Amino acid sequence: MKNSRRTFIKLAGIAAAGLALAPRKGLAAEGHEPVKVNATAIHAKHWAMVIDTTKLNTAEAINKLAAACHHDHNVPHIEGKQEVKWLWHDTYPHTFPEQENPHMAEEVHERVFPLLCNHCQNPPCVRVCPTKATFQRPDGIVAMDYHRCIGCRYCMAGCPYGSRSFNWGDPRLGLDLGNLNPEFPTRMRGVVEKCNFCVERLAVGKLPVCVEASEGAMHFGDLMDPDSEVRKVLREKFTIRRKPSAGTEPSVYYII
């Protein structure tokens, strides 16, 4: 199942080949060795995620995914209002503040929902960033260059979903240094960070950590490909997105 999914994602993405490495174009242009696209990289015209909240709706289950994501990306553990988080959970009223009604199905209202960056199609965080440290890749992923970010936190004011965290202090103080993921860099203080849709894994042909760990409750694929898995579930199930009124067109869909 996983293999066939990868194959069609690959096929769908041929047109977009190389785009995954677009941010590195500058390097190549400066005359360093040519950058090669990983042969196993998977591509899409627009990556999207569908979360099945009928299957994934408990704090424990979501915490497990968050732990996997945070370990994989060396996200520091910090308590309090200056915390850093890429994936977390919250209640229905907090997740969909404008989409409540007083007589909602209790079962839905009591679920907890996984939250992460929505990788919006019209991302205000990209619009406001003064240095292009936050940028949108051609495959729709809203990515960050931690080395360029000046820490002005305009993107945090701009994001209507509270998806971004800032390293108020040294993030390495909040990391278990004996248990780092050597494959992914740690950050320094004074920069913003957020979920990156696991671009580093897509580049080597793997799906996002949370999707892999979700045991089928999260779907990931190309929104522009009518035959993709995400389009299939979107066709079959009723889904909603967070804060549609903000006009950002989130790429994360929730099956209710």
Partner 1 sequence: MLELALKGSKRYYGWIAFLLVLIAIGFAAYVNQLMVGLKTTGMGRDVSWGFYISQLTYLVGLAASGVMIVLPNYFHSYKTNKHMVIFGEFMAIAACVMCLLFVIVDIGQPQRMMNMIFHPTPNSILFWDMIVINGYLFLNLLCGWTCLQADRQHLPHPKWVKPFIYTSIIWAFSIHTVTAFLYQGLPGRHYWLTAILAARFLASAFCAGPAILILVLLVTEKVTTFKMPKNALSTLVKIVMYAMCINMFFFLLEVFTAFYSNIPGHMHPLLYLFAHASTGLVTLMWTFIVFAAISITLLVTPRFRNNLKLLPWTLVLLIIATWLDKGLGLLIGGFNPTPFDTITPYWPTGKELLVSMMIYSIGALIVTVLFKIATEVKEEVGHSQRLACGCSSEDGCTCTGEEAAAEA
- The contact set with ligand SF4 (CB under 6 A) reads 69, 73, 86-87, 116-120, 123-125, 128-131, 133-134, 142, 144, 149-155, 159, 161, 163-164, 192, 194-198, 208-210, 248
* Contact (Cβ atoms closer than 8 angstroms) between residue 118 and residue 95: no
- If binding is defined by CB under 8 A, does position 24 make contact with partner 1? no
Which stretch, 32-40, 218-226, 232-240, 242-250, contacts partner 1 (CB under 8 A)? 242-250
* Contact (Cβ atoms closer than 8 angstroms) between residue 47 and residue 222: yes
Type and span of the H or E element at 196: none
Q: Which is nearer to ligand SF4, 16 or 125 (CB)?
A: 125
CB-count burial class (<10 Å; 0-12, 13-18, 19+) for 36: exposed
Q: Which is nearer to partner 1, 138 or 158 (CB)?
A: 158
Beta-carbon count within 10 A of 216 CB: 10
- If binding is defined by CB under 8 A, does position 117 make contact with partner 1? no
Q: How far, in Å, CA of 130 to CA of 141, rounded? A: 19
Type and span of the H or E element at 5: helix 2-12
Choose the one of ligand SF4, partner 1, none that binds residue 117, judging by a C-beta under 5 to 8 angstroms depending on kind: ligand SF4
Strand-strand pairing, 112-115 and 134-136: unpaired
Q: Which is nearer to ligand SF4, 48 or 209 (CB)?
A: 209
- Give me 54's structure tokens: 């009928």
Q: Which residues form the interface with partner 1 (CB under 8 A)?
A: 80-84, 90, 93-95, 97-98, 124, 126-133, 148-154, 156-162, 165-170, 188-192, 243, 245-248
